Every structure is written in C-alpha cells, then in structure tokens.
Structure 1
Amino acid sequence: MTKLANIWLYNTAYRSFDWGSLSFDRTIAHVDRRFGEEGGEGLYLIPGLIDIHMHIESSMTTPTEFSNTVLPHGTTTVVADCHEVANVFGADGLSDYMDLPSELDVFYAIPSSVPSTSAELETSGGSIDEQEVHQLCKRDDIIALGEIMNANDLFSEGDNRTKRIIRAFQEEKRNFPIEGHCPKISQELLSRFIAGGVDSDHTQQTGLSIQEKSSAGMFLEIQDKSINRETIAALSDPHLVGKYCFCTDDVMPDILFSKGHLDAVLRNALSCGLDVHDAIYAATYSPAMRMRLFDRGSIAPGKIADFILVDDLNTLHIHAVYKSGMKVFDATEGLINRLPVPTIKDSYLHSLRRKAVSPSQFTIDCPNGTRDILVMEREETTTFTRFAKQRVTITDGVVPFAQYGLSLIAVVERYGHESPILPAFVKNGLKKAGAICTSWAHDSHNLLVLATSVELATRAVNLVLERQGGIALVDEDRQQFVPLSYGGIISLEPMETLAGEIADVRNWLKEHGYRAHEELMNFAVLALPVSPAVKISDKGLIDVVHKRLVDWRTYWE
C-alpha cells in the first residue's frame, strides 16, 4: 500500500480541493479528507484525464507509441474511433490495430462511416456494415458506436447502412453511447437527429449552439477549436456541469509533441476564463460518466488509481502521473517505462498495390479554345471549399493550369484496381513550384497529390508508391519523404522523430504558398467527400451537397 500525504485532493462531488492524504495500490483504498482544515503548500492531486472522442491515427502512430506520448501529459484513458485504419484494412485489420499493446487504457468506438460515402463516390480498402458491427461488439473494449456523420441516412424513411449499424450496435450493446457528428444542424432537424438515437456532438460550437444542443438533451464534447471566450462563457453556466466534456478529436504529431494532449485543451479553456475546478470535472468525471466508465474519473475508494500530481493549477504543470497505482511519469525522470515498437504483420507494411504511374495518366481530353471550367476554390481559413469558374485558353487539348495560378489535384486509387486518374484543378493551392503527395488522405487514404506540374505530380506519386506509403515532397531539384509504412497512414518511428518530420511538411506547405490554419490536415481533407462543398476522390470531382460526381469541363451557374 502506498500513501501520499499532505496534498490537495480534488473533490468531484463539490468541484473543489480538500487537504489530506491518499492510500492506494492498483485502486484507491482510502481518501483522508480533512474537511475544514486550511492545509498548506503542496501538490494538487486530480484524476487522470479521460479523452472520449479522439482518433489515434490522426497522430499517425500506433496505440503503443501514442501511450508513450500522452501519459506524460496526464491522459490515462481514451475512447478511440479508429475509422482511418478501418477504411484501409476493414474490420479484421481494425481488430489487429486495437490489439497492439498500450500502458494507457484504450477503449474503442466502432467506426460507423466506413467508407464515408459510397462505392460510387470513392474507393476504400474496407467497409463496415451490420455484420462487422456484430463481430466487433464481441470485444470487451468496444464501449461506444463512433460518430454518426450521415445525417441524411438518419432522416430518411427507408432502410440504409447507418440505420442498420445503429440497430446492430443497440442489439449488442444496449444503452451504450452512440456518438454524433452534426455541424450546422439545428431546430427540427436537430430533434430528429437526437430521436434517431444519437445524442452527442463534438463539432465546432458557438454560444448559441451550446445552448440549443444542451437544451435538447445532447452531450457536448468540446475540442480545442470550439474554445473561445463566447463558448466558455456559455459552458460556465452551472446548469451545464456534467452535460459536456473536453476532447481532442484530431491532434497532429508535431502539435501533440510540442503543445500536449488533453492538458493543452484544458489550458486553453482556463485562458478563456473557465474555472479550474469545472475544467478538471469536464476532463475526468464527466467523460467517465458519458462512457459508463464507473471505475474511474474521481478520487474515491475503489476507483482505479489513475491520477496526476500538479504543482500549479494556473498552468496545470504536471509533476507526476500514476496509472493503476504505478508512477509512469515524473517531471524529473520523464517517462519511466517506454513501450517498444510493436511487431506488425508484413501485409500491413505492404498495402499499396498500385503500379507506377506516368505523366500521360494525368491528362484529360478537353476541346481547344477559350472556355470556362470548374475549379475547386479553397477557403484559406477553414476546411470549406466551393466551386469557382475559371476562364482558360486550351491548346492541344491541355489546360495550361499553372498559367492561371491553379494547381493540379488528383486522387490516385491505391487498392489494386488500377483505376484511371481523374485530375482537377485548385484555386489557392501551391504558389511555388512543387508537388506533395500523401497516402494519409481522409478518409479512404488513396493517394492525394497537389502539384504545379504534371511531371512533379508523377514523381511525387511514384515516390509514395515505391516507399509503400507516406508523404512525398518534391521540388524541381530535391525531394523529401516521411515514411508511413503501416497501411500508408501510420508511422513506426518515435513520436519525437515523427513530429519533426511533420513539422517539416508543414513548413514546406507554407513555403510553397499553401495557406491554412492546419496545413497538412487541411490538405488531407480535400479528399474527404462529406466535407462541404466540393472535394475530390479517385472517382473525380465531387459535389458534396448533392452527392454527385462532376465533370469540371462543364460549368453551370
């Protein structure tokens, strides 16, 4: 039995601190709260942080290295929706990924949107329907259904994949949470969304959306991009305690390594005026209750001894982290037990089945003359895109796109079908000569390439194919490569190494004129055909609003 004495203990019931001591082994045996005593100088003990909406693959790593990375930041439990792996390898590959070792407690939500649309609009390597849900629900670590993104399926009268998945999950895991994704849904449509069995949302919020969704009975999972003084003022209403939690959703490797994990989200909330006691509650007890994790989330007898020692409540500076009663991180010693790189099946390391491509595969016949074509125009401050008109003069059937400040964009199918390449053009793409190609492209993870010339695009794609997955950066005189050997989306390198490589990619995009709040993520979702309003897949340019393929050679008002 271990005892920590003369410390400040977080009190979940009153959202305050008490002076006292803690006795524990793997679980908490006794909490000696000396009510009424003023106490003195000492460390603050709070429950381990719990992140219930996140995607490990957004950090481009395995559960093993993710554990090594986030335990020092006080995250001791996560609920992961690994839909990126499922899109590449299907349910069997997803299970193998979930079986990788971790000192962090990792629970899982079944991906509900694999693929994100349909075989008519994109090619993926795997799919999940009711049969796969029944299969995955046999796992004890499955405790939720991952974010339901297809609201139209919920609203429709007939049967469809989303409804089948929800029914199958409810049959297997009655009363377990079903997570939602419902940006810009309000009023009657919001009621219909919730009535469909989906009662949480993690998308970007405003003060008004917080009020409306909370009043409708929706549990809110607040990620970093939703945090500002307006939203924190709304969340500070004492009536909302327990109706929301904090989460990370997606954290890129360089941001994770340099700024932190859920602790960074909490610091941002504190800087915007949230009371520290409420912030701790929303990252510990509140998410634990949402996910029915009744054995953690508070400092109380019988609970798992997951906790953090903090020496400054204003900055939440971490002094030590304990997982199941064992110290796993110390501010002086660092991470005490680093888990080694896990063994990965060879088939997962050789998953790109496309043959090398040639420049001729990037050309599409187009009638000569001066005419209007459709292009994808990026908003540089968001992930939103729109259709735009560009007048071009075509000679020899080729669009001289660089002459008009446009970039070539294409998604190259990678799963062995040798599908034709159907390129399009982007406004607000690259300003300086170069090409970037990545096999980490949401959600189907075909090869997404953006380039200022067909020749550079070809070089970048072939480099990714040759190296079996990763990110290729190609200029006229040099090239760089970030290996993502596990399925083309996951690195097997230490997070420190990967973070430096991703920072280099981010800098390359900036240097080549690609403007965005989150450069690499912004680029990767240009291939996500559920993100408004125009995206691209291996099938071509997609009108997301109307869920149809578009020929860029034809323009309409």
Structure 2
Amino acid sequence: MTYLKNVWIYNSAYRSFDFGSIAFDKTIRHVERNFDEESHGGLVVIPGFIDIHMHIESSMTSPSEFSNAVLPHGTTTVVADCHEVANVFGVEGLEAYMDLPSLLDVFYAIPSSVPSTSKELETSGGQIDASEVEQLCKRDDILALGEIMNANDLFSEEDNRTKRIIKAFKTCRPDSPIEGHCPKISGEQLSKFIASGVDSDHTEQTAQSIMEKVSAGMFLEIQQKSVKKETIKALCDEYLAGTFCFCTDDVMSDVLQEKGHLDAVVKQAIFYGMPITEAIYAATYAPAMRMRLFDRGQIAPGKLADLLVIDDLETLHIKAIFKNGAMVYDSSNGLVTPTKLPNLDKKYLNSIQRKKISEKDFDLSCPDGNRDILVIEKDTATTFTKKGRQTVDVVDNTFDYFAAGLNVIASVERYGHESPIKPAFLKNGLKKSGAICSSWAHDSHNLLVLATSVELAVRAVNLVIENQGGIALVDEQKESFVPLAYGGIVSLEPMPKLAKQIKGVRKWLKDHGYEAREEVMNFAVLSLPVSPELKISDKGLVDVVQKRVLDWRTYYSDGNKSK
C-alpha cells in the first residue's frame, strides 16, 4: 500500500480541491478528505490525463515510443484511431501495430474511413468494411468506432460502406460511442449527422458551432486549435462541463517534444480563462465518461491509481506520476523504465512497391493559346483549400508554371499498381526552387510530391522509393532525407531524434516560402480528399464536395464553373 498524506486532492464531483490523504495499491483504497481544512501549500494530486481522440501515427512513431514521450506530460490513457496504419497495411497490419507494447494504457477506436473516400477517388493499401469491423470488435481494447469523415455517405439514401460499418458496429457494440468529423456541417445536415448515431466532433470550433452542436446533443472534443478566447468563454459562460473534453487529435513529434501533449491543451485553456478545476475535469473525468472508462478519471475508491503529483499548480509542473499504483516517473530522474520497441516483421519495413519514375511520367501539356486552368489554392491559416483559377500562356505545348506562382503537385500511387501519375498545380506553395516528397501523406499515404520543377519532383520521389518511405527534401544545392521505415509513416528513432528531424523539415518548408500554421501537417493533408474543397489523390484533382475527379485542363472550358 502507498500513501500520499497531507496533499490537495482533486474532487471530480465538485470540481474543487480537498485537503487530505490517499491510500492505494493498483487501485485507490481510501481517500480521506478534510472538507473544512484551511491548510495552505503542499502537493496537489489529480487523475492522469485521458486523451480520447488522437492518432499516434501523427507523431510518426510507434505506441511504444509514443508512450515514452507523453507519459512524462501526464497522459496515462489514450484512445487511438490508427487509420493511417490501416490505410497502408489493412487489418492485419493494424492489429500488429495495436499489439506493440506501451507503458500507458492505449485503447483503440476502429478506423471507419479506410480509405477516406472510395477506390474511385484514391488508392490505399487496405480497406475496412463491415466484416473487418466485426473482426476488430472482438478485441478487448476496442472502445469506439473511429471518426466518421465521409458525411456524404451518411446523407445518401443509398447503401454504402460508411452505413454498413456503422450498422455492424452498432450490432457488435450497441452501447459504445461513434466518433465524428464534421467541419462546416450545421442546420438540418447536422441533425442528420447526429441522428445516424455519430454524436461527437473534434474539428475546429467557434463559439457559434459550440452552441449549435452541444444544443443538438453532440459531445465536443476540443483540440488545441479550437482553444481560443471566444470558445473558452462559450464553454465556461454556459457551464457546459460534461458536454466536452480536451483532446490532441494530431501532435507532430517536434511540437510534442517542445510544447507537450494534452497538458499543453489544458494550459492553453487556463491561459484563455478557464478555471483550472474545470480544465482538469475536461482532461480527466469528462473523457473517461464519454468512453465508458468507468474505472478511471476520478480519485475515488476502486478507481485505477493513475495519479499525477503536481508541485506547482500554476504551471502544472508534474513532480511524480503513478500508473496502476506504481511510480513510473519522477521529475528528477525521468521515466523509471522506458518501453522498448520489439523486433518488427520485415514486411512492415518494405512497403513502397513503386518502381522509380522519370520526367516523362509527368504530363503537363496543354494546347497552345491563352487559357484558364484549375489549380488548388492553399489557405495559409487552415488546412482547407479551394478551387483556384489561373490564366496561363501556353507556348509549344508548355508553360512556365513556377513563374506564374504555381508548383507542380502529384500523389504517386505506391502500392504496386504502377498507376499513371496525374499531376496538377498548387498556388501558395514553394516560393524558392525545391521539391518535397513524403510517404506520410493523409490518409492513403501515397507519395505526395510538391515541386517547383518536374526534374526536382522526380528526384524527390525516387529518394523516397529508394529508401522505402520517408520525407525527401531536394533543391539544387543538396538533398536530405527523414526515414519512416515502418510503412513509410512511422519512424523507428527515439522521439528526441525524430523531433529534431521533423523540425528540420519544418524549417526547410519555411525557408522555401511555404506558409502555413502547421507546415508539415498542412502539406500532408493536401492529399486528404475529405477536407474541403479541392485536393490531390493518385487519381488526380478531387472535388471534395462533389466527390469526383476533375480535369485541370478543361474545368473552366467545359461548363464546370466554380461556384
């Protein structure tokens, strides 16, 4: 039995602190609360942080190394949606990844969007349908159905994969939550979305969207980009505790290393005016209740002894962490026993099946004359894009697109089909000569390349092929490479080294004029055909709303005018 005496204990029921003592082994045995105690100072004990909407692969690492990285930040439980691995390897590879060891508790949500759209719009390495959902539901570590991203399927009157998946999950797990992804959905469409059984959202919120979605019965998972002065005010003024929690969704390795994990979201919420007692509630008890994790999230008899000992409440500085009653971290010495990554099956380390490409694989020809072409116009503040219109002068069947402020962009299919490359153009990309190619490209993880010339694009793509996955950076002066050996999306390096590498990618993008709030993620989602409005896949330009492939050469000349 371990005792923490004369400490301030977080009270989840009253969202306050009581002075007292805690007795525990693996679970909490007794909590002595002196409700009228007027003592001052001393250590503070709160439940371990619980992150119920996140993607481990967004940190480009394994559950084992992820555990080593986030546990010192107080995260003791996560619910991971590993749709990135599923898109690359299918269910077999997904389960192999899920079975990797970790010190923190990793539960899972079944990926519902593999691929994110359909085989007509993108090529992935795996697919999840109703039968795969039934198979995965047999696992004890499955808590939820992962984010439903294809809202068009929900609104359709026809049978489709998304509806089959939801039906299968409801049959296997009738009392488990179904997670949602619904940016810019409101009104009657929001009602249809929720009525289908998908009753949460983690996308970027405003004060208005919070009011509408919570009023409609939706549970909100607030990630860092939604933590703003106006949204925190909306959550606090209307006393919405229990209708939302904090989450991380995607945290790049360098950001995690420098700024933290769920603790960073909690601190930002406090900075914008949320009382610390409410912020702790939204990172512990509220997420536990959403995921039916009734054995944690509260300091009370019978609950797991996942405890954070805080020695500075103002900064949330963690002195020690107990996991299942055992001390696993102290601020002086770090992790007691870091998790080691076991030997991996080589088939997961040789996943790029594409043959090397050449410049002749990029067809950028246009009939001679002055004409308007369709381009992806990238937003610098968000991950959204829109249809752009560019007038070009075509001479001898070619044009100088870089001089016109455009980059060539393509998603090169990597799964052994040797599909023809369907290049297009991006506005607001690289302003300095260079090329970046990444096999970490949401969600199908084909080889996404952005370049100021075809010659540089080919060099970058072939570097990724040669090295079996990773991020290639190429310009006239030099080449550099970040290996992502596991499926082309996961590094085998320790988090500090990986963080340094990704910070280098971010610097390269900035130095070459790529403007974005989150440069690496912003680039990676240019190939995500569920995020508005116009994206690139291995099939070509994808109209996200209409769910169709567009021809950039004829879009403005065949009657398909952009609204």
- Structure-2-length-normalised TM-score: 0.98
Post-superposition Cα deviations, 1:438-475, rounded to whole Å, max 9, x if no partner, equal 00000000000001111111110000000000000001
Q: How many residues are matched?
A: 557
The offset of 1:372, in angstroms, is 1.9
Equivalent-residue separation in structure 2 for 1:387 and 1:35 (angstroms): 60
Which range moves more in the overlay, 144-153 or 335-344? 335-344
For residue 332 of structure 2, what is the aligned residue in structure 1? 332
SS at match of 2:371: strand
For residue 214 of structure 1, what is the aligned residue in structure 2? 214
The offset of 1:555, in angstroms, is 3.4
For residue 303 of structure 1, what is the aligned residue in structure 2? 303
For residue 508 of structure 1, what is the aligned residue in structure 2? 508
Post-superposition Cα deviations, 1:479-501, rounded to whole Å, max 9, x if no partner, equal 11000000000001000000000
2:13 is the alignment partner of 1:24: no
For residue 349 of structure 1, what is the aligned residue in structure 2? 349
Post-superposition Cα deviations, 1:525-547, rounded to whole Å, max 9, x if no partner, equal 10011111111011111111211
Letter in 2 for 1:312: D
For residue 203 of structure 2, what is the aligned residue in structure 1? 203
Equivalent-residue separation in structure 1 for 2:134 and 2:345 (angstroms): 25
SS at match of 1:37: coil
Equivalent-residue separation in structure 2 for 1:164 and 1:395 (angstroms): 51
For residue 497 of structure 2, what is the aligned residue in structure 1? 497
Letter in 2 for 1:157: E
Equivalent-residue separation in structure 2 for 1:444 and 1:433 (angstroms): 27
Letter in 2 for 1:514: Y
For residue 468 of structure 2, what is the aligned residue in structure 1? 468
Is 1:389–1:555's contact at 8 Å kept on the other side of the alignment?
A: no
Equivalent-residue separation in structure 2 for 1:375 and 1:193 (angstroms): 31
Report the RMSD for the aligned CA atoms in angstroms. Answer: 1.0
Counterparts of 1:367-386 in structure 2 under 5 Å?
367-386=367-386
The offset of 1:238, in angstroms, is 5.6
For residue 58 of structure 2, what is the aligned residue in structure 1? 58
Post-superposition Cα deviations, 1:295-348, rounded to whole Å, max 9, x if no partner, equal 000001111100101112221111111111111111111111111222211000
Is 2:15–2:277's contact at 8 Å kept on the other side of the alignment?
A: yes
For residue 270 of structure 1, what is the aligned residue in structure 2? 270
Letter in 1 for 2:94: L
Counterparts of 1:302-451 in structure 2 under 5 Å?
302-451=302-451
Is 1:364–1:422's contact at 8 Å kept on the other side of the alignment?
A: no
The offset of 1:383, in angstroms, is 1.3
For residue 81 of structure 2, what is the aligned residue in structure 1? 81
Equivalent-residue separation in structure 1 for 2:440 and 2:23 (angstroms): 46
Which range moves more in the overlay, 75-84 or 213-222? 213-222
For residue 231 of structure 1, what is the aligned residue in structure 2? 231
- Structure-1-length-normalised TM-score: 0.99
SS at match of 1:403: coil
For residue 130 of structure 1, what is the aligned residue in structure 2? 130
Which range moves more in the overlay, 7-16 or 152-161? 152-161
2:269 is the alignment partner of 1:258: no
Which range moves more in the overlay, 515-524 or 200-209? 200-209
Equivalent-residue separation in structure 2 for 1:503 and 1:19 (angstroms): 43
Letter in 2 for 1:153: D
Q: Which runs of 5+ in 2 are unaligned?
A: none
SS at match of 2:100: coil
Which range moves more in the overlay, 396-405 or 227-236? 396-405
Is 1:125–1:444's contact at 8 Å kept on the other side of the alignment?
A: yes
Post-superposition Cα deviations, 1:387-443, rounded to whole Å, max 9, x if no partner, equal 222222223322321221211101100000001111111111111111000000000
2:294 is the alignment partner of 1:294: yes
Is 2:372–2:390's contact at 8 Å kept on the other side of the alignment?
A: yes
Letter in 2 for 1:536: I
Letter in 2 for 1:433: S
2:552 is the alignment partner of 1:555: no
Is 1:307–1:323's contact at 8 Å kept on the other side of the alignment?
A: yes
Is 1:528–1:537's contact at 8 Å kept on the other side of the alignment?
A: yes
Equivalent-residue separation in structure 2 for 1:408 and 1:156 (angstroms): 34
Q: Which runs of 5+ in 1 are unaligned?
A: none
Equivalent-residue separation in structure 1 for 2:25 and 2:139 (angstroms): 27
The offset of 1:140, in angstroms, is 0.4
Is 2:229–2:272's contact at 8 Å kept on the other side of the alignment?
A: yes
Letter in 2 for 1:47: P
Letter in 2 for 1:200: S
The offset of 1:366, in angstroms, is 2.1
For residue 141 of structure 2, what is the aligned residue in structure 1? 141
Equivalent-residue separation in structure 1 for 2:360 and 2:192 (angstroms): 49
Is 1:363–1:398's contact at 8 Å kept on the other side of the alignment?
A: no
Equivalent-residue separation in structure 1 for 2:254 and 2:102 (angstroms): 21
Letter in 1 for 2:369: G
For residue 453 of structure 1, what is the aligned residue in structure 2? 453
Equivalent-residue separation in structure 2 for 1:297 and 1:237 (angstroms): 24
Equivalent-residue separation in structure 1 for 2:191 and 2:404 (angstroms): 46
